[in-house]
């Protein structure tokens, strides 16, 4: 694939510049670890991101960037079709953007690097053998809640820019570093808040952990809630009621059939490596009010994960139609149909694989890993769709990984931290050019 045109100065001495960038990243290894540890120590469950945002803002000011730290306007956010429900106030938990103003005065291409500072709970704590808020390094791993998802990526993107600037290299285009809140719950809201504030660029990297694979696509998802009616009765006279657990199990089994049938029909080349094409994943099953009572209601909740190509509206219709069929085949449910509510959604996307930015990132990934870089899709969702679908920017997901994300003993590989920082630094100079 053809690479994008570069400013003349970059083409003439790319080899020298590359070495300069890589040497500077190497010299900033200690900064990378120190900064990531401080960021992990700033506990930041969704809704409590203030301290982590402050750590990012302080670092970005240290780099002499134009730093904007602001609280999202909830009313403005909710008026956008992509906004997801949030149970938190936006007070005291700012989004933070640092902007390096391109040396070409608007002449170079701009690049935006995005990461979310919020993390999921480390509970249950007794499953951990390390301090989830410690940032301890052991055997090439840095441990802590958020190490992989995704404070590691944030550290890489900030230290990548620091390394470039410290080497005396002046990117021609603007470089924006965006540290947002509210991705783990209310996915997309933090990034949408930044887009609505006017921050956008000619290309974006969302630095979620991808094991250094370039991912120009992600799944969309529907969060669904199915309420299955029953009818209460004394347990000794259960024939007078309708057991909502029994009816809920019928629905649960039907969802498994739906997953199998849909996965057989809907496939996508960037998702060929995953065992299930359309995961339908219940994660809550609640029923029962009192002992001795036939359960009057069952509520099942979960996600349906989509592929690029079909909107969440398509899948909502499909699921609704299917549940009607399921209800029609059961005497009770046919007259007491389950109710489907969609409580959260975000859209899948895929970037054109011939987009120059995708090609550039693929080449850079091969450069830093020494292996041919294959493209695939993120097996889940993140904020990248806001940048692609609503910001109209070519967007890839790329970052360092480890293990234990959303589980115990989460860590990020120190080697991958270094390689991801190299790649992001190279992406800054190659995409934005140098003055």
The smaller minimum CB distance to Zn ion, of residues 7 and 380, is found at 380
156 contacts Zn ion (rule: CB under 5 A): no
The smaller minimum CB distance to Zn ion, of residues 68 and 410, is found at 410
Smallest gap from Cβ 404 to Zn ion, in A, equals 13
Answer left, alpha or beta for residue 58, where phi above 0 means left and psi between -120 and 50 means alpha. Answer: alpha
405 contacts Zn ion (rule: CB under 5 A): no
The smaller minimum CB distance to Zn ion, of residues 149 and 351, is found at 149
Binding mask 327-366 for Zn ion (x = CB under 5 A): ----------------------------------------
Identify the H or E element spanning 234: none
The smaller minimum CB distance to Zn ion, of residues 43 and 324, is found at 43
Binding mask 207-236 for Zn ion (x = CB under 5 A): -x----------------------------
Give the separation between CA 195 and CA 206, rounded to whole angstroms: 14
149 contacts Zn ion (rule: CB under 5 A): yes
The smaller minimum CB distance to Zn ion, of residues 154 and 294, is found at 154
Smallest gap from Cβ 190 to Zn ion, in A, equals 11
Instruction: Give the three-state DSSP class for 168.
Output: coil
150 contacts Zn ion (rule: CB under 5 A): yes
The smaller minimum CB distance to Zn ion, of residues 162 and 208, is found at 208
Question: For tokens 């669904």, what's the residue?
Answer: 224
The smaller minimum CB distance to Zn ion, of residues 174 and 183, is found at 183
Question: What is the total count of residues that contact Zn ion (CB under 5 A)?
Answer: 3
Residue 123, Cβ density class (10 Å: 0-12 exposed, 13-18 middle, ≥19 buried): exposed
Smallest gap from Cβ 192 to Zn ion, in A, equals 15
Smallest gap from Cβ 60 to Zn ion, in A, equals 20
The smaller minimum CB distance to Zn ion, of residues 68 and 208, is found at 208
Q: Regarding beta strands 204-206 and 395-397, do their DSSP bridges make them parallel or antiparallel, or are they unpaired?
A: parallel
In the DSSP assignment, the letter for residue 172 is S
Smallest gap from Cβ 186 to Zn ion, in A, equals 13
Give the separation between CA 206 and CA 171, rounded to whole angstroms: 20
Give the separation between CA 421 and CA 417, rounded to whole angstroms: 6
Give the separation between CA 419 and CA 157, rounded to whole angstroms: 11
Of the candidates 271, 283, 254, 296, the one whose C-alpha atom is nearest the C-alpha of residue 380 is 271
CA distances, 228 to each of 192, 233, 238, 293 (Å): 34, 16, 17, 16
Pick out residues in 274-293 that bind Zn ion (CB under 5 A). Answer: none
Q: Which residues pair with 205 in a beta bridge?
A: 113, 396
Helices (H) and strands (E) in the chain, counts: 13, 16
Pick out residues in 191-210 that bind Zn ion (CB under 5 A). Answer: 208
Contact 148, 404 (CB under 8 A): yes
The smaller minimum CB distance to Zn ion, of residues 104 and 150, is found at 150
Stretch in the footprint of Zn ion (CB under 5 A) among 96-104, 141-149, 211-219, 221-229? 141-149
Q: State the greatest distance between any 2 C-alpha atoms of the chain, in Å, as a whole number.
A: 86
Cis peptide bond prior to 53, omega within 30° of 0: no
Smallest gap from Cβ 184 to Zn ion, in A, equals 7
Smallest gap from Cβ 187 to Zn ion, in A, equals 9
Smallest gap from Cβ 34 to Zn ion, in A, equals 22
Neighbouring CB atoms inside 10 A of 355's CB total 17
118 contacts Zn ion (rule: CB under 5 A): no
Give the separation between CA 267 and CA 281, rounded to whole angstroms: 18
Smallest gap from Cβ 382 to Zn ion, in A, equals 5
Smallest gap from Cβ 93 to Zn ion, in A, equals 16
Q: What are phi and psi of 156, to 5 degrees?
A: -60, -45
Stretch in the footprint of Zn ion (CB under 5 A) among 97-105, 147-155, 248-256, 426-434? 147-155
Question: Where along the sequence are the contacts to Zn ion (CB under 5 A)?
Answer: 149-150, 208
């Amino acid at each position: 694939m053809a690479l994008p045109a570069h400013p003349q100065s970059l083409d003439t001495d790319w080899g020298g510049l590359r070495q300069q960038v890589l040497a500077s990243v190497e010299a900033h290894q200690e900064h990378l670890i120190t900064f990531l540890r401080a960021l992990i120590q700033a506990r930041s469950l969704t809704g409590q991101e203030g301290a982590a945002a402050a750590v990012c803002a302080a670092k970005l000011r240290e780099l002499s960037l134009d730093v904007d730290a602001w609280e999202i306007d909830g009313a403005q956010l909710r008026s956008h079709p992509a906004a997801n429900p949030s149970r938190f106030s936006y007070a005291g938990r700012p989004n933070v953007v640092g902007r390096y103003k391109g040396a070409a005065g608007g002449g170079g291409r701009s690049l935006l690097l995005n990461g979310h500072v919020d993390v999921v709970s480390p509970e249950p704590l007794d499953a951990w053998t390390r301090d989830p808020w410690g940032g301890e390094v052991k055997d090439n791993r840095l441990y802590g809640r958020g190490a992989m998802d995704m404070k590691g990526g944030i550290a890489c993107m900030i230290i990548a820019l620091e390394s470039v600037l410290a080497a005396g290299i002046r990117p021609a285009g603007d470089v924006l570093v965006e540290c947002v809140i509210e991705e783990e719950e209310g996915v997309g809201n933090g990034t949408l808040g930044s887009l609505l504030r006017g921050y956008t660029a000619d290309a974006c990297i969302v630095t979620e952990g991808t094991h250094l694979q370039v991912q120009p696509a992600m799944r969309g998802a529907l969060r669904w809630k199915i309420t299955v009616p029953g009818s209460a009765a004394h347990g000794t006279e259960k024939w007078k009621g309708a057991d909502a657990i029994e009816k809920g199990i019928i629905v649960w089994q039907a969802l498994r059939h739906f997953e199998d049938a849909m996965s057989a029909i809907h496939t996508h080349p960037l998702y060929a490596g995953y065992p299930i094409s359309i995961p339908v994943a219940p994660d809550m099953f609640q029923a029962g009010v009192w002992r001795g009572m036939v359960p009057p209601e069952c509520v099942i909740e979960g996600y349906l994960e989509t592929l690029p190509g079909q909107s969440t509206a398509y899948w909502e219709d499909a699921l609704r139609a299917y549940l009607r069929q399921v209800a029609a085949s059961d005497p009770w449910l046919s007259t007491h149909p389950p109710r489907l509510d969609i409580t959260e959604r975000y859209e899948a996307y895929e970037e054109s694989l011939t987009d120059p930015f995708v090609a550039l990132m693929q080449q850079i990934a091969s450069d830093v890993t020494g292996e041919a870089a294959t493209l695939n899709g993120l097996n889940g969702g993140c904020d990248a769709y806001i940048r692609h679908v609503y910001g109209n920017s070519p967007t890839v997901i790329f970052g360092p990984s480890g293990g234990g994300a959303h589980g115990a003993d989460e860590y990020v590989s120190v080697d991958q931290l270094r390689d991801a920082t190299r790649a992001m630094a190279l992406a800054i100079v190659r995409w934005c050019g140098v003055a």
